[in-house]
């Protein structure tokens, strides 16, 4: 897997930007453990983002990135902060990256857009992306319609830049499967939600650990912003409203600010973004332990297939 060489990191593992979750503590822990940590911009103000980038620089001397949410109301200011702070790697999604590419390339950034289709992959390659991350609908958070397993080889065959597989990666076996399908690296999100270094309350992590494999659900399909979330009371109510063609004003009122509410401890009334692999979340662990075990298992399973 060659994304480690492009990004100058030990393991071919990127920590996905996670709104409200990936602060400097998580990003630096991932980078120190050999992956690529990323500071999120989703859910944070420009001042908070600058502060978290600076803290990350204090906590690690390894490469790290920033995940630029393109629909952030302060996206222009955030892009200036990223460049000003000397960040060298960004991922970006939730919007059209085209207007920003010239500025990014002039600043010598490695830009890795998150894409959800062959069309988007080809577009970002033409714009000058050094790699792209294909995120399948198994992932936690805002999702597209295609899944990692069927679509990844289609993306890989359609572009010449390295493709990172995001969505549904929880074990070394998943990393090897992504490699077999042509990925040059993986991006993980949900697997890290039970890491000690995330800023969520313990009840948030415990809810995911105690969940069944069927406990993620997609809400917001009718809003054109589908999100995969933990099936708590809020998600079930949102789902009820949508499937019964109920009051969308109530839907939006309930959804407003729900990500922040969850991180602060409202486990039933907040939105906990999470992917389909809840089966694999079994205990609270440190980031280093998670990454080391992923790579240990990946190497072991890969070795088994050599003969």
Ligand X SMILES: Cc1cc2nc3c(=O)[nH]c(=O)nc-3n(C[C@H](O)[C@H](O)[C@H](O)COP(=O)(O)O)c2cc1C
Contact of 61 with 39, CB cutoff 8 Å: no
What track of x and - describes contact with ligand X for positions 184 through 223 (by CB under 6 A)? ---xxxxx--------------------------------
Provide CB contacts within 8 A for 141, sequence distance 6+: 16, 18, 19, 189, 227, 228, 273
Q: Which stretch binds ligand X (CB under 6 A): 2-10, 49-57, 250-258, 273-281?
A: 273-281
273 is a site residue for ligand X (CB under 6 A): yes
Question: What's the rounded Cα separation, in Å, for the pair 71 and 225?
Answer: 12
Select the residue whose beta carbon is closest to ligand X and give its number: 189
Question: What's the rounded Cα separation, in Å, for the pair 123 and 111?
Answer: 13
78 is a site residue for ligand X (CB under 6 A): no
CA angle 62, 63, 69 (to 5 degrees): 140
- 227-230 and 141-142 strand pairing: antiparallel
Q: Which stretch binds ligand X (CB under 6 A): 4-12, 138-146, 210-218, 241-249?
A: 138-146
261 is a site residue for ligand X (CB under 6 A): no
- CA-to-CA separations, 70 to 41, 77, 133, 187, in angstroms, rounded: 9, 11, 15, 19
Question: What's the rounded Cα separation, in Å, for the pair 156 and 137?
Answer: 17
290 is a site residue for ligand X (CB under 6 A): no
Please name the helix (run of DSSP H) or strand (run of DSSP E) that holds residue 132, with its range, or none: strand 132-135
The residues pairing with 40 across neighbouring beta strands, listed in sequence order, are: 67
Could you tell me the smallest distance in angstroms from the CB atom of residue 91 to ligand X?
A: 6
Could you tell me the smallest distance in angstroms from the CB atom of residue 68 to ligand X?
A: 8
**Which of 39, 53, 275, 281 is in the footprint of ligand X by CB under 6 A?**
275
Contact of 238 with 220, CB cutoff 8 Å: yes
Q: Which is nearer to ligand X, 20 or 61 (CB)?
A: 20
**Which of 25, 69, 159, 267 is in the footprint of ligand X by CB under 6 A?**
69
Q: Which stretch binds ligand X (CB under 6 A): 53-61, 175-183, 237-245, 270-278?
A: 270-278
**Which of 110, 169, 177, 181 is in the footprint of ligand X by CB under 6 A?**
169
Question: What's the rounded Cα separation, in Å, for the pair 228 and 139?
Answer: 7
**Which of 36, 53, 139, 183 is in the footprint of ligand X by CB under 6 A?**
139
Q: What single DSSP character describes residue 284?
A: -
Q: Which stretch binds ligand X (CB under 6 A): 54-62, 75-83, 135-143, 156-164?
A: 135-143
Contact of 131 with 5, CB cutoff 8 Å: no
287 is a site residue for ligand X (CB under 6 A): no
Which stretches of the chain bind ligand X, using CB under 6 A? 16-19, 21, 40, 42, 67, 69, 93, 114, 135, 138-141, 166-169, 187-191, 273-275
């Amino acid at each position: 897997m060659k994304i480690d060489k492009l990004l100058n990191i030990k393991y071919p593992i990127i920590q996905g930007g996670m709104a409200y979750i990936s602060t400097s503590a998580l990003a630096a822990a991932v980078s120190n453990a050999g992956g690529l940590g990323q500071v999120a911009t989703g859910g944070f103000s420009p001042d908070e983002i600058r502060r978290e980038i600076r803290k990350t620089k204090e906590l690690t001397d390894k490469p790290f990135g920033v995940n630029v949410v393109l629909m952030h109301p302060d996206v222009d200011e955030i892009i200036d902060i990223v460049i000003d702070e000397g960040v060298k790697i960004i991922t970006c999604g939730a919007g059209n990256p085209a207007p920003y590419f010239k500025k990014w390339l002039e600043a010598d950034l490695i830009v890795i857009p998150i894409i959800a289709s062959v069309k988007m992959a080809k577009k970002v390659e033409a714009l000058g992306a050094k790699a792209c991350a294909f995120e399948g609908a198994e992932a936690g958070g805002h999702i597209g319609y295609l899944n990692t397993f069927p679509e990844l080889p289609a993306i890989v065959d359609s572009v010449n830049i390295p493709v990172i597989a995001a969505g549904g990666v929880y074990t070394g076996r998943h990393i090897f499967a992504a490699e077999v399908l042509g990925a040059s690296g993986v991006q993980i999100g949900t697997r890290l939600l039970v890491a000690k270094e995330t800023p969520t309350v313990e009840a948030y992590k415990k809810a995911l650990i105690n969940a069944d494999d069927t406990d993620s659900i997609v809400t917001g399909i009718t809003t054109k912003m589908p999100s995969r979330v933990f099936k708590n009371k809020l998600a079930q109510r949102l789902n009820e409203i949508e499937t019964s063609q109920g009051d969308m004003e109530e839907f939006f009122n309930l959804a407003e600010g729900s990500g922040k509410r969850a991180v602060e401890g409202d486990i039933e009334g907040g939105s906990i973004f999470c992917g389909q692999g809840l089966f694999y979340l079994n205990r609270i662990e440190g980031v280093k332990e998670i990454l080391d075990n992923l790579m240990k298992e990946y190497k072991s399973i890969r070795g088994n297939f050599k003969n």
